[in-house]
Amino acid sequence: MSNHDSTPKFPDSFLGNNSLDYDSSIWMERNQKKTTLLCLQYLYDERLDNLEKPDFLKDEPFFIVDLGCGTGFSTEILVERGFRVVGIDVLHDMLSKVKTKKNHMNNQNNLELILADINYIPLRSSSINHAISISAYNFITHRAESIRNKTNIAHNTAKYLYILLKPNGRIVIEFYPKDEKELNSFISSFKDNGFDGFMVKKDPNQKSGQTFLLLKKR
């Protein structure tokens, strides 16, 4: 067996019994669900251009990937709204909570859960309409030791997301960048790999506060 532990180091609050505390925090649930609803609005933001909201009764199934779905606060909202959802998370402790919730969902056939890294999502090319990511995307470079390595991971992930998305595909990412360098690195990873879009900051004066990237496939 290899000594190399490929699991990134995450905040303790995602691991073991702490993931139960994360999942049972009413504050966290309220906050993450509110953010998910805002991300859904941003997905169809007119400033990206006029893309009609899907009519789930008429249109083909609409696939949305929840990148870093955690214990499923964002996933639950997406399923309730009628999307076909693929929840991706790299930590079993977090993903197992969504699996339990799935058993109680009305539309449980509309949800697939995959234990995987955002950097290597095991889905077919051009198979998804949209992706969202709530408070998770900044962890994609968690394991990188050098700035160069971080930049490469960000670029490869954006390139891969581009391939997975169907034409007109969109991504909304909500995250808390560590600093301006990290923010700029994520922005250019998308710009250089086929995306247009813009950024919304909850507090424009704060460099590292809550940030939304609204992206569409060029």
Ligand X SMILES: C[S@@+](CC[C@H](N)C(=O)[O-])C[C@H]1O[C@@H](n2cnc3c(N)ncnc32)[C@H](O)[C@@H]1O
Rounded to a whole number of angstroms, the minimum distance from the CB of residue 53 to ligand X is 22
Task: Specify the residue, 64 or 88, whose C-beta has the smaller distance to ligand X.
Answer: 88
Q: How far apart are CA 94 and CA 71, in angstroms?
A: 5
Task: Specify the residue, 51 or 144, whose C-beta has the smaller distance to ligand X.
Answer: 144
Rounded to a whole number of angstroms, the minimum distance from the CB of residue 35 to ligand X is 7
Rounded to a whole number of angstroms, the minimum distance from the CB of residue 49 to ligand X is 26
Residue 160: CB atoms within 10 A of its CB come to 17
Task: Specify the residue, 51 or 156, whose C-beta has the smaller distance to ligand X.
Answer: 156
Task: Specify the residue, 120 or 198, whose C-beta has the smaller distance to ligand X.
Answer: 120
Task: Specify the residue, 60 or 134, whose C-beta has the smaller distance to ligand X.
Answer: 134
Burial code (b: 16+ CB inside 10 Å, e: under 16) for 72-102 equals bbbbbbbbebebbbbbbbbbebbbebbeebb
Amino acid 136 reads: A
Residue nearest to ligand X (CB): 70
Task: Specify the residue, 87 or 169, whose C-beta has the smaller distance to ligand X.
Answer: 87
Rounded to a whole number of angstroms, the minimum distance from the CB of residue 8 to ligand X is 6
Rounded to a whole number of angstroms, the minimum distance from the CB of residue 31 to ligand X is 8
Taking Cα atoms as reference points, which of 116, 64, 110, 61 lies closest to residue 94? 116
Rounded to a whole number of angstroms, the minimum distance from the CB of residue 57 to ligand X is 28
Contact residues for ligand X, defined by CB under 6 A: 10, 14, 32, 68-70, 73-74, 88-91, 94, 117-119, 134-136, 139-140
Q: Sign (positive/negative) of CA torsion 22, 23, 28, 32? A: positive
